[in-house]
Amino acid sequence: MTQSPDIEATLARMQEELRPYLERRPLIIGIYTGGVWIAERLHRALGLEEPLGTLDISFYRDDFTRLGMHPQVKTSNLPVNIEDRHIILVDDVLHTGRTIRAALNEIFDYGRPASATLAALVVRDGRELPIQADVIGQYLKLNKNQHVKLSGPDKLILNIQEVG
Amino acid sequence: MTRGDLQLDSQGRLRHFLTIEGLQRQTILKILDTAESFISVGEREIKKVPLLRGQTVVNLFFESSTRTRTTFEIAAKRLSADVININTDFSATNKGETLLDTVRNLEAMRTDLFVIRHPDSGAAYLIAGYVPAHVHIINAGDGRHAHPTQAMLDMFTIRRYKGSFENLRFAIVGDVLHSRVARSQIHALTTLGAAEVRVIAPKTLLPMDVEKLGVQVFTDMRTGLDGVDVILMLRLQFERMSGALIPSAQEYFNLYGLTREKLAYAKKDAIVMHPGPMNRGLEIESAVADGSQSVILPQVTNGIAVRMAIMALILGGQP
């Protein structure tokens, strides 16, 4: 297992890239679990007044019939009406794109946002859907048998594991 | 093999939901935790998630029901399943078709989940023992035997108001003899580690050997309700009574009806529950049923999230 250094520098870079979006008064929404940690940091750093939204996409996953219910489902909470608002969706790792597909579906069950922008701490190869990030923390060139996972929330660390 | 084993597959996962008896504590807690996450779905504008899209749920009710059938229907619809309701009054069973033939035909229409209520104890087992592996059964009440989803929504409601079960005293009051709800509640509470479970009823409304289920028996409300945290009222089930088991409605109300005066024997912050439908003025006084300690309507609301959780866990093949 290896650890990728310096998440703080990456977060600072993402924060600067997101700054131009602020004039649109965006709402920040994090995807459980790692995405919420990143979203909390960005939300605080950018000084947004409206509260952070959180999404647990378990009820929207496309592999439910194969894998069943996730054992620990969190509660999605969008405290501000998203109708006609600009959304910044935040996740820790963009990989297949399926999580983002599910998150967009869930968001649209709450209303019709004016736009949705995706910010991801890590972007890696392996997309299975036509979904790309607008704000990218870092690219990681990983093999198929490598798995990247964020641990936190007190100290955010990216762990790269060899699997199977 | 006990009856409860029928509801688990070879890996110990829930395949059907037939009874609380024999379920492990962690399984019950997992259902409660899952239900907690479904509460939020009912609170938002579009009260629907796509989890069971394309699945077919048949509510097969051989006994009348408003609350249970409706909450099962809403639960399935909020999970995006297609729901068909079949009530015995309109069904072919009145024309002599057997229960299994009815199920066989509905199964031939590619039903994924049957929710079954039947006046005969064991009806849901009979069907669960017969259907192929991809078809699932939820028991929505079988005779006097079990009503496990009601007990689960009661446990969910208790946990929401009281936080846990370990240090609490519970009193189940009324027609225990005919109550499938009471039996399921007793199994759930003892499995969850309740400090004390009491039943309070006249001797004529208590089953034989009820103590063997791990409860304390009281025939007097004053001593029975003394110091309890949760009062679980039961409905007097006249439709299941074959003889005169209570002297008169008025005398029953005087002795066992939950009035404000009798409620005062319990702890000050005790909650009052009832599975419905209520016989007001018979087992419970309106002032108590509608009073500040009553959580009877929250029980109904919680029933949807709990039934969503059970359906999702069963159809998702959850470990």
Please answer yes or no on whether B48 and A110 come within 8 Å at the CB atom: no
Q: What b/e readout covers B227-237, taking b as 16+ CB neighbours within 10 angstroms?
A: ebbbbbbbbbb
Please answer yes or no on whether A76 and B40 come within 8 Å at the CB atom: yes
The pLDDT of residue A10 is above 50: yes
Question: Of A13-17, A143-147, B19-23, B125-129, which gets the smallest average pLDDT?
Answer: A143-147
The pTM assigned to this predicted structure is 0.87
Regarding whether B132 and B82 lie in a shared domain, the answer is yes
Structure tokens of A130? Answer: 């036509």
pLDDT digits (tens, 9 = 90+) for B144-177: 999 999 999 999 999 999 999 999 999 999 999 9
Regarding whether B152 and B277 lie in a shared domain, the answer is yes
Higher pLDDT, residue A162 or A89: A89
Cβ atoms of residues B291 and B266 within 8 Å: no
Specify the pLDDT at position B1: 44
pLDDT-derived band at B4, boundaries 50, 70, 90:
low
The pLDDT of residue B74 is above 70: yes
Please answer yes or no on whether B50 and A69 come within 8 Å at the CB atom: no
C-beta neighbour count of B110 within 10 angstroms: 10
Interface test with A, best of B26, B41, B49 (most A CBs within 10 A): B49
The pLDDT of residue A3 is above 90: no
Cβ atoms of residues B18 and B2 within 8 Å: no
Regarding whether B117 and B198 lie in a shared domain, the answer is no
Regarding whether B204 and B77 lie in a shared domain, the answer is no
| Contact partners, residue A51, CB within 8 Å, separation at least 6 | A79, A80
Which of chain B's residues have a Cβ under 8 Å away from the Cβ of A68?
313, 316-319
Q: Domain range spanning residue B167?
A: 148-295
Number of domains in chain B: 2
Tell me how long chain A is: 164
Which member of B30, B44, B312 has the closest CB to residue A110?
Answer: B44
Regarding whether B197 and B138 lie in a shared domain, the answer is no
Q: Which of residues 23-62 of B touch A (CB under 8 A)?
A: 30, 33-34, 36-37, 39-41, 44-46, 48-51
The pLDDT of residue B318 is above 70: no
Which member of A60, A73, A74 has the closest CB to residue B50?
Answer: A60
Please answer yes or no on whether A64 and B51 come within 8 Å at the CB atom: yes
The pLDDT of residue B247 is above 70: yes
pLDDT digits (tens, 9 = 90+) for A30-86: 999 999 999 999 999 999 999 999 999 988 888 776 777 776 778 888 999 999 999
State the smallest CA–CA distance between residue A12 and chain B in angstroms.
33
Regarding whether B71 and B167 lie in a shared domain, the answer is no
Specify the pLDDT at position B88: 76
Regarding whether B238 and B220 lie in a shared domain, the answer is yes
Specify the pLDDT at position A6: 77
Q: What percent of chain B has pLDDT over 70?
A: 95
Specify the pLDDT at position B317: 58
Taking one residue from A and the other from B, the number of pairs with CB-CB distance under 8 angstroms is 48
Name the closest residue on chain B to residue A106, using Cα atoms: B49
pLDDT digits (tens, 9 = 90+) for B76-104: 999 999 999 998 764 556 666 788 898 99
User: CA-to-CA distance for B270 and B294, rounded, in angstroms?
Assistant: 9
Q: What percent of chain B has pLDDT over 90?
A: 80
Q: Tell whether A80 is within 8 A of chain B (Cβ).
A: no
For range A144-157, the mean pLDDT: 90
B169: domain CATH number is: 3.40.50.1370
Which of chain A's residues have a Cβ under 8 Å away from the Cβ of B39?
75
pLDDT digits (tens, 9 = 90+) for B296-311: 999 999 999 999 999 9
Regarding whether B142 and B114 lie in a shared domain, the answer is yes
The sign one gets for the Cα dihedral B108, B114, B117, B121 is positive
Q: Which CATH number fits domain A7-141: 3.30.420.40, 3.40.50.720, 3.20.20.105, 3.40.50.2020?
A: 3.40.50.2020
**What is the DSSP annotation of A4-69?**
E--HHHHHHHHHHHHGGGGGG--EEEEETTHHHHHHHHHHHHHT-SSPPEEE-GGGG-TTHHHH-S
Domain range list for chain A = 7-141
Which of chain A's residues have a Cβ under 8 Å away from the Cβ of B50?
59-60, 105
Regarding whether B153 and B165 lie in a shared domain, the answer is yes
Task: For Cα atoms B282, B287, B292, give the angle at the middle one, nearest 5 degrees.
Answer: 130
Q: How many helices (H) and strands (E) does chain B have?
A: 11, 9
Regarding whether B190 and B141 lie in a shared domain, the answer is no
Please answer yes or no on whether A59 and B313 come within 8 Å at the CB atom: no
pLDDT digits (tens, 9 = 90+) for A110-140: 889 999 999 999 999 999 999 999 999 999 9
The pLDDT of residue B253 is above 90: yes
Regarding whether B164 and B229 lie in a shared domain, the answer is yes
The pLDDT of residue B294 is above 60: yes
Regarding whether B206 and B136 lie in a shared domain, the answer is no
Which of chain A's residues have a Cβ under 8 Å away from the Cβ of B34?
69, 73
The pLDDT of residue A1 is above 80: no
pLDDT-derived band at B319, boundaries 50, 70, 90:
very low
Specify the pLDDT at position B3: 54
Specify the pLDDT at position B91: 54
Please answer yes or no on whether A69 and B33 come within 8 Å at the CB atom: no
Interface test with A, best of B44, B55, B308 (most A CBs within 10 A): B44
